[in-house]
Structure 1
Amino acid sequence: MRSATTDLPDVSVVMPVLDEEAHLRDSVRQVLDQDYDGALEVVLALGPSADRTHEVAAELTRSDPRVRTVDNPSGRTPDGLNAAIAATRGEVVARVDAHAEIPRDYLSTAVRVLQETGADNVGGVMDAQGRTPFERAVAVAMKSPLGVGGSRFHVGGAAGEVDTVYLGVFRRAALESVGGYDPHFARAQDWEMNHRLRGAGGRVWFTPELVVTYRPRSSAARLFDQYLNYGRWRRVVARRHPGTANARYLAAPAMVAASTAAAVIGVRWRPALVVPLGYLGAVVAGGWYISAGEPARVRARVPVVLATMHWSWGIGFLTSPASLARAGERP
């Protein structure tokens, strides 16, 4: 659909929501305050939250007719996304997370880039910004190839076609042509869906003009759990789509396997300890290098953050049960 007063396509923003009482009001307000001149609607897919998320959502629907809600009983992200998309009507569908912070020109820029490039999905930079020393250390690691590899949505780069993007602003026709998000993937659903989109001849486009503020995990335990699940579900993608696990995704599990084996061997043959000790030295030196300009209390935490991200991803990938790759099986 297109607006009756402009030649711009109608935009539907979909937002999966679970336990987001603290952020939901601000996130929705940022969407409603966009400078986009076309018609705009927001659909919130409400999971079974334990806080006051539902009350906040009800206030938002009463205060603005552009905001609607749908139920997401499972609370899982792909289920919520699909439910919200099914309830929308816009020619363009934009995914926005309830804890993301988007600039005022996010939608107008995304629609312009869609029209200029002919792409089917457009996304930009996942700009990690921390407040505490630990969060700032995570942000440093997330913006470096040493932490997360060379994906442009993490480290930036020139505009162009890519494998996947952060969040995404889609042409509805392309999204529907591949059946939307696979409900099996509790994690990595963006990467998996974009893989199918590209396989069907679609184009996924990165532009540095789009910058979304991302708030990192606040503790080592939460960071470990996050990247453990990333690694676990990236292995599921590799099993479902053979040939997609490139060197960047295999680096962490290879390091975990090699360091663990060398440490065991090193109990009897000390020279083998050069492997885990070499990794330790590289993480400390690399962390110190990529955090140049940060306060000492942040720089001191970056090696810990890097090691947490590497080891949790690698362990998750290596220990991911084969049963997770079976179609229809829920975690």
Structure 2
Amino acid sequence: MTEASDEQPLPGVSYVMPVLNEAHYIESAVTSILAQRYPAPTEIVLSLGPSSDDTDAIVERLHQRDPRIRAIHNPAGHIPHGLNLAIRDSRYPVIVRVDAHTELPADYTLRAVRTMLRTGAANVGGIMAAVGRPGVQAAAARAYNSRLGLGGGAYHSADVPAGPAESAYLGVMRAEVLAEIGGYDESVRRGEDWELNHRMRSAGHLVWLDPQLKVTYWPRRDLPALARQFYSTGVWRGELVRRLRHANPVRFFAPPLVVVATVLSVVLVPLWAAGVLPGWWGLFALVGLGPVAYLLLLVAIALAGGGGLAGGARYAAVLATMHFAWGAGFLRGAAHGARDAVDTSRV
């Protein structure tokens, strides 16, 4: 490992960001980059998909304000394509991935780069700290930050210790390692970070998680958009399970099991209760106890949740939306592959 003091010269940094229909968030994301306290050369490369809102005009205004910001075109609009285009157009040896729905704390880059130099890591990432405006977005943020929402992945919890990790949120990466492993896999439309980190680790490189690196993330603002996002994410997670059968955490399989149990209970329990199915089918009908227990859990969450009954109900609805959309998508992806599935929540 490479040992480095805080006085060691710092490398230049290229911030890369894929952007599509982000008029509500892009300016705040870029402003958080410009506010970084990092005493070395920097640049911002925005990879612009075919937006239908005011994103491009906002980006042009930002470029006029600061020449370190420049835009390149990503006609396909897909995240890994956009990231690879921006990385290839970058000048500096450290690549910092930023998303338009995120905001970086002012010391993010400095801390991450110093950690990279100290540990010899190929990628240093932190924690997704979701926030939201009152309503569905706030409930979604609460779900993102809870083990009930996303299953306890390391980079969703500030309670984990710093150290080697399976994956880390976003990432501050060595450009030479990205070139070595071929960058992002453009056939993976969602879950591209996890897949990239898997290849980094398989190539013998270190992925490091620092829970002190907390990135603000703004979730989707309504249930339909949240459902589309999580369905797409589930589809691509199912695709990755097909590709990497031996390298998937057990937590990935909980939401699809809830979906399967719910479907079976809806079909089997009424038929068994009506006598259409023989009595011994009652053993299979017991699968309905799982969805019943899940429903009772949601009711308990709604009654006990913060923000009164309305706030608790929103939180329970968000959890159900995330779990069922992700689980249904996972089943499709695992059974048939992701094919051309895309995240339509950004369109």
1:282 aligns with 2:297: yes
Q: Tell me the distance in 2 between the aligned counterparts of 1:91 and 1:60.
A: 24
User: 262, 267, 272: which one pairs with 1:269?
Assistant: 272
Q: Distance in 2 between matches of 1:317 and 1:16?
A: 24
Determine the C-alpha separation between the residues in 2 that align with 1:6 and 1:201.
Answer: 25
Query: Do residues 175 (structure 1) and 199 (structure 2) align?
Result: no
Asked whether the equivalents of residues 14 and 44 of structure 1 are also in contact (C-alpha less than 8 Å), the reply is yes
- What does 1:74-93 correspond to in 2, within 5 Å? 74-93=76-95
Structure with max Cα Rg: 2
The amino acid across from 1:314 in the alignment is G
**What number of residue pairs does the alignment pair up?**
323
Q: Is the 8 A contact 1:146 1:286 kept in 2?
A: no
Confirm whether residue 245 of structure 1 aligns to residue 264 of structure 2: no
Distance 1:313 1:210, change over 3 A: same
Instruction: Specify the code of the residue in structure 1 equivalent to 2:317.
Output: V
Normalization by structure 2: what TM-score?
0.87
**Measured at CA, do residues 319 and 138 of structure 1 come closer, stay the same or move farther in structure 2, by a change above 3 Å?**
same
**SS of structure 1 residue aligned to 2:170:** coil
**Aligned letter for 2:292?**
L
Matches within 5 A, 1:124-135: 124-135=126-137
Kept after mapping to 1: 8 A contact 2:258/2:290: no
Task: Measure the CA separation in 2 of the matches of 1:288 and 1:128.
Answer: 23
In structure 2, C-alpha distance between the alignment counterparts of 1:155 and 1:302, rounded to whole Å = 19
1:255 to 244, 251, 258: 258
Alignment of 1:134-283 (within 5 A): 134-156=136-158, 157-270=160-273, 272=285, 273-283=288-298
Check if 1:99 corresponds to 2:114.
Answer: no
Task: Report if the CA contact (8 A) 1:113-1:122 is conserved.
Answer: yes
User: In the alignment, which residue of structure 2 is the partner of 1:311?
Assistant: 324
Distance 1:213 1:330 in 2: 27
Residues 216-263 of structure 1, C-alpha deviations (whole Å, 9 max, x = no match): 211111111111111100011111222123320011111111221122
Q: Would you say the 8 A contact 1:133–1:297 is kept in 2?
A: no
Residues 307 and 325 of structure 1: is their aligned pair in 2 closer, same or farther, counting only changes over 3 Å? closer
CA contact (8 A) 1:287 1:306 kept: no
Q: Give the residue type in structure 2 aligned to 1:282.
A: L
1:29-74 per-residue CA deviation (whole Å, 9 max, x = no partner) reads 2211210001111111111111222222222222222112111111
- 1:16: which partner in 2? 18
Q: How much has 1:195 moved relative to structure 2?
A: 0.8
Q: Which range is displaced more, 295-304 or 222-231?
A: 295-304
TM-score relative to the length of structure 1: 0.91
* Distance in 2 between residues matched to 1:155 and 1:176, nearest whole Å: 30
Post-superposition shift, 1:111? 0.7
| Residue aligning to 2:278 | none
What residue ranges of structure 1 are gaps of 5+ in the alignment?
Answer: none
Cα RMSD for the two superposed structures: 2.1
Map 1:292-307 to 2 at 5 A. 293-307=306-320
Cα separation, 2, equivalents of 1:149 and 1:141 = 10
| Counterpart selection for 1:57 from 59, 70, 78 | 59
Structure 2: gaps of 5 or more residues: 1-6, 274-281, 343-347
